[in-house]
Amino acid sequence: MDVNAALADASTVPFWLDSEHRPEPLPPLNHDCEAELVIVGGGFTGLWTALQAKERDPERHVVVLEANTIGWAASGRNGGFCAATLTHGYDNGESHLPQENERLAALGRENLEAIEAAVAKYSMDVEFERTGELDVATEDYQVPELRAAHDPEAGFIFYDQQELAQIVKSPTYKGALWDSREVAMVNPAKLCWELLRVIRELGVEVYEDTKVTDVSDRKTSMQVTTQVTSGTTTPSGTHASGSHASSGASRVTAERVALATNVFPSLLKRASLHTVPVYDYALMTEPLDDEQLESIGWNGRQGIGDCANRFHYYRLSADNRILFGGWDAVYHYGRQVSWKYDQRPETFETLAEHFFDTFPQLEGVKFTHKWGGPIDTCSRFFSFFTTAYGNKVAMAAGFTGLGVGASRFAGTVMLDLLSGQDTELTQLEMVQKMPLPFPPEPVAWLGIKMTTNALIKADGNEGRRGPLLKALDAVGMGFDS
């Protein structure tokens, strides 16, 4: 298969954002004002925080400030896997927070139920499908662990190679575990835009092209300083991150501030070393016709992820395209975040090759979109929280690719923290304990490079973890999904 021909006409705009449903831009903040709650960041975390703030107190004056456009970053360009897990998998939670892992698993299930309920309550058109996810073995050594996790009463169903071939047809599959209850598929950009619609209907003020440059304490309140931004337009139709032209500083006096900037540099110095941006990439095919769909099966429309450290994730869209992403996770020296890294031809070619290895019966299918973006990664691989200025400011970050679902929970936690009240969530070790920070450069770059190489080596050694990965496990920086 000529992968270059399959990629030749692919747009560089993220598929989900390349839509007629994209709302008209909102004006920037160009005047001083007051608010009870200011939310910095217009992705999933900020939007869910705004919605829940208004649900708790419909009269609360809430302002959302977004430096670009709503949902333009990770929230609008991910795979759309909305998972119940808050800890990037049960095993990873057990490794980091064993004393409360069971409770976190239950809270995650409650959170997914709440997302589904909100979609129904507010009639959100987000292409929500609670189909679950197939964790697929592509090597023989991966099968026993999946088989051992078979627990139909809990919704985990193992399929051997022959059974799986009746569900999704790929010559690479050795077996799979279907998590039938705890993952839903969504259109992530539509979820952002529908959340935007709902919060505006509830009275939330939302300003785009408004970059927050400083958050400072004014004893009885907080002062949020902003600048109107405009600048270079990227291939995805958004402003070039880090290259904004700025004008017109404004200030918002706020009782409370929620920081939902995730992958971007923290406005709190104490959290500046706790995340690194890691770039992930994806392809989207043209819509499949009936014959092509029949050739692969997949009638259950589950999300799919394979078991290796360097894994792929893929799913069907509402119009029967296949999104195929993952494999490479690229860190750029100095924690750099730039739209220039959104395109990586060598990764797209690799993904295309792997796609046709997975589904050779789809030879001739073209890719219509190719894109990438940064993931906010922390050393425990799930979100963390911190507060500042006497609990007048709360922050959540570090979702490490699980933010579609966990972002709503993060909003719940931040609102509890800002309330000043002790709640079950504020007392969680997950909330009170920060992950280990990443070291400064050049140690961070070298360490991430060495860890990536060690993970690749483990994949080639039947999953056996070498000395470096074992050492990271021992100090609490290991990952077991």
The structural domains of the chain, with segments of one domain joined by +, span 26-79+189-275+380-432, 443-475
Q: Quick one: average pLDDT of 349-358? A: 98
What are 212-228's pLDDT values in tens digits?
999 999 888 999 999 99
Q: Would you state the pLDDT for residue 232?
A: 44
Pairing, β 205-207 against β 62-65:
parallel
Q: Would you state the pLDDT for residue 41?
A: 97
Q: Quick one: average pLDDT of 262-289? A: 95
> Can you give the pTM of this predicted structure?
0.94
Percent of the chain clearing pLDDT 90 (strictly above): 85
The CATH class for the domain spanning 26-79+189-275+380-432 reads alpha beta
At residue 240, does pLDDT exceed 60? no
Q: Would you state the pLDDT for residue 224?
A: 94
Q: Quick one: average pLDDT of 435-447? A: 92
Going by pLDDT thresholds of 50, 70 and 90, the confidence category of residue 179 is: very high
Going by pLDDT thresholds of 50, 70 and 90, the confidence category of residue 454 is: confident
Q: Would you state the pLDDT for residue 431?
A: 98
Contact 279, 373 (CB under 8 A): yes
At residue 471, does pLDDT exceed 90? no
Cα angle 123, 125, 128 (rounded to 5 degrees) comes to 100
> Which residues face 176 on adjacent strands?
136, 159
Pairing, β 303-306 against β 133-137:
parallel
Pairing, β 276-285 against β 62-65:
unpaired
Smallest Cα–Cα separation from 430: which of 90, 93, 44? 93
Contact 104, 87 (CB under 8 A): yes
Percent of the chain clearing pLDDT 70 (strictly above): 94
| Mean residue pLDDT across the chain | 93
Contact 407, 111 (CB under 8 A): no
Contact 88, 481 (CB under 8 A): yes
At residue 243, does pLDDT exceed 50? no
Going by pLDDT thresholds of 50, 70 and 90, the confidence category of residue 419 is: very high
Contact 410, 47 (CB under 8 A): no
Q: Quick one: average pLDDT of 113-117? A: 98
Q: Would you state the pLDDT for residue 478?
A: 63
